């Protein structure tokens, strides 16, 4: 299991640094392509590059997508929250033994999920919590 | 017996609770929300009409002004009749049932009656509502065939949403009546 722990390891530092250098170099190349006029690129011989329109379009698309994702995530979460009148707020199929029969024998009572009626009585009807 | 204290709803707006104990088996709780304030109405109307006038200033189309007037009137009538709740009441009659009614600002009243045989309990529950967790009072219903399982939940005081101190008062009085039958 030692190979799968998330601790810092020299190989991971090297991977990280290589990725960092690669991404900085890639950004430098992107800036070169975006700023150098088309005629100079054609005169060198590099003719088959995407249109300059995409130098603006791709970053703007990315930023708009990130903003919409934030709003969409919030909306999806609110949509998935159970409404106030749904039975899932009170209990579900995995709740164990919620019968309200009180069989107080001597000894440790049976382990079970406490029903909401008993919780309410304990919180709000007993004189001192 | 009537009591009035300074309660607020979950957003901090003040509401008032009126408990009437008609007898040891029957009591009524009325939660009243403050009425629509004339200042707010005037502010909204002025904003909508100034906006419409600005649009008219640029487009020179009088239909904009007419439609703004109609929209304001229709919107106010719709709000008063369907949205703005004046007071909500809960009437508990031991061994008979529970009646929940809400009355709107235009005078319209909607009422629901739940018979005691279907009621398992009235409890205060906590749930996630939008970005916060609120306490709300709800009636747990049971099927006669399975008296131990909760079949559905009916939340109470949905439009006024009082805070916990108000709910605890109502809860204690309800439990006195329900535990007797």
Same domain for A72 and A85? yes
- Would residue A65 count as lying in a domain? yes
Specify whether A66 is located in the same domain as A84: yes
Q: Can you give the pTM of this predicted structure?
A: 0.78
A119 and A83 housed in the same domain: yes
For the record, the structure tokens of B1 come out as: 């017996």
Q: Minimal CA–CA distance to B40: which of B17, B66, B13, B67?
A: B13
Which of the pair, A103 or B178, is modelled with greater confidence?
B178
Residues A69 and A115 placed together within one structural domain of the fold: yes
Please indicate, yes or no, whether residues A66 and A42 belong to a single structural domain of this protein: no
Within a domain: A96: yes
ipTM for the assembly:
0.77
Q: Is residue A30 part of a domain?
A: yes
Which residues from chain B sit within 8 angstroms of residue A84, using beta carbons? 127, 129, 136, 138, 153, 155, 158
Which residues of chain B does A114 touch, with a Cβ-Cβ cutoff of 8 Å?
none
| End-to-end CA separation in angstroms for chain A | 47
- Please check whether residue A117 lies inside any domain of the structure: yes
pLDDT above 50: residue A108: yes
Beta strands B14-21 and B132-141, pairing class? unpaired
Coil/strand/helix, residue B90:
strand
A78 close contact with B: CB closer than 8 A = yes
Q: Do A72 and A86 fall within a single domain?
A: yes
- Total tally of structural domains belonging to chain A: 2
| Residues A56 and A30 placed together within one structural domain of the fold | no
Based on the domain organization, do A35 and A97 belong to the same domain? no
Are residues A29 and A39 both part of a single domain?
yes
Tokens (6 digits) for A100: 């309200």
A4 within some domain: no
Do A45 and A68 lie in one domain? The reply is no
Q: Encoding tokens for residue A121? A: 């009585």
What is the pLDDT averaged over residues A22-46? Answer: 88
A81 near B CB under 8 A: yes
pLDDT at B19 over 50: yes
Question: Whole-angstrom Cα distance, residue B73 to residue B84?
Answer: 15
Residue A80 forms contact with B (CB below 8 Å): no
Residue A1 placed within a domain: no
Q: How much is the pLDDT for A51?
A: 82
- Using CB atoms, pick whichever of A87, A99, A124 lies closest to residue B171: A124
Q: How many C-beta neighbours within 10 Å does residue B73 have?
A: 11
Q: What is the pLDDT, as a whole number, of residue A101?
A: 60
Percent of chain A with pLDDT over 90: 36
Tokens standing for A119? 């919780």
Q: What is the domain range of residue A15?
A: 11-49
Q: Is residue A2 part of a domain?
A: no
Per-residue pLDDT of B101-129, as tens digits, reads 999 999 999 999 999 999 999 999 999 99
Structural domain includes residue A29: yes
- What average pLDDT does chain B have? 91
Q: Are residues A64 and A15 in the same domain?
A: no
Q: Is B71 on the interface with A (CB under 8 A)?
A: no
Number of residues assigned to chain B? 181
Closest residue to B136, CB basis, from A84, A120, A123 = A84
Is there a single domain that holds both residue A40 and residue A69?
Answer: no
| Backbone φ and ψ of B146, nearest 5° | -135, 85
């Amino acid at each position: 299991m030692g190979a799968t722990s998330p601790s810092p390891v020299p190989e991971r530092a090297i991977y990280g640094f290589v990725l960092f250098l690669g991404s900085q170099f890639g950004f430098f190349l992107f800036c070169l392509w975006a700023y150098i006029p088309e005629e100079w690129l054609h005169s060198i011989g590099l003719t088959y590059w995407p249109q300059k329109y995409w130098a603006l379009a791709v970053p703007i698309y990315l930023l708009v997508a990130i903003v919409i994702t934030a709003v969409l995530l919030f909306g999806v979460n609110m949509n998935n929250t159970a409404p106030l009148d749904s039975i899932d707020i009170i209990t579900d199929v995995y709740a164990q033994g919620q019968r309200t029969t009180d069989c107080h024998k001597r000894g440790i009572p049976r382990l079970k999920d406490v029903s909401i009626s008993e919780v309410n009585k304990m919180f709000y009807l007993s004189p001192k919590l | 017996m009537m009591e009035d204290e300074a309660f607020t709803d979950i957003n901090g707006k003040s509401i008032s609770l009126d408990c009437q104990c008609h007898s040891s088996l029957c009591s009524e709780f009325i939660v009243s929300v403050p009425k629509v304030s004339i200042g707010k109405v005037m502010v909204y109307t002025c904003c909508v009409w100034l906006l419409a006038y600005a649009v008219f200033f640029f487009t020179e189309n009088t239909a904009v002004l007419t439609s703004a007037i109609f929209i304001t009137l229709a919107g106010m009538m719709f709000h008063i009749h369907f949205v703005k709740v004046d007071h909500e009441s809960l009437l508990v009659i031991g061994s008979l049932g529970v009646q929940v009614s809400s009355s709107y600002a235009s005078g319209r009243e909607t009422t629901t009656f739940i018979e005691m045989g279907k009621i398992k309990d009235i409890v205060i529950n906590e749930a996630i509502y939008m970005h916060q967790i609120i306490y709300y009072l709800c009636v747990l219903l049971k099927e006669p065939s399975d008296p131990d399982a909760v079949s559905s939940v009916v939340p109470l005081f949905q439009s006024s949403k009082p805070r916990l101190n108000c709910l605890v008062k109502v809860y204690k009085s309800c439990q006195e009546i329900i535990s007797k039958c």
